[in-house]
Structure 1
Amino acid sequence: MFATVAAIGEPALLAGYGLAGVRILAGSTDAEILNAWTALPADTAFVILTPRSAQALERALSDPRSPMTVVVPQ
């Protein structure tokens, strides 16, 4: 079984990742980003974040049970 790779943030910054099969969860505001984070499938192992998303999720990312994350450069 394969784990899910997801990306959260502004669609314009993440569109290319969708071509590689990454599940894109669009969000531009703190509320949209937090909703996307809570909507991640249970099998999500890796999440690509835009800098804006990383800022909005700072508190959630400190949970050791959260998936591995990486922030794309600006």
Structure 2
Amino acid sequence: MNRNVAAPRRAAARAILQAAIDRGELPSGLDVELGIDPLIAPLAFRMLVLKGGDNEYSETLTRAIEAALKATAS
């Protein structure tokens, strides 16, 4: 893993998830470290491999990730 690339992105994702927890949008029992991967991976794949995305995709992905994260929280 290239820490110069991954670390800042993981930190940003961690902050996004923690803010959602603090606002009550995600459960307090959420495993934030587990939640980072499904938050970053689909977007990275879409941008790096498929070379782009659109707002509809982003909105659908956001709802799917939110539902998945809520389902995994203890």
* TM-score normalised to structure 2 length: 0.27
Q: Which structure has the greater CA radius of gyration?
A: 2
- Structure that is richer in strand per residue: 1
- Structure that is richer in helix per residue: 2
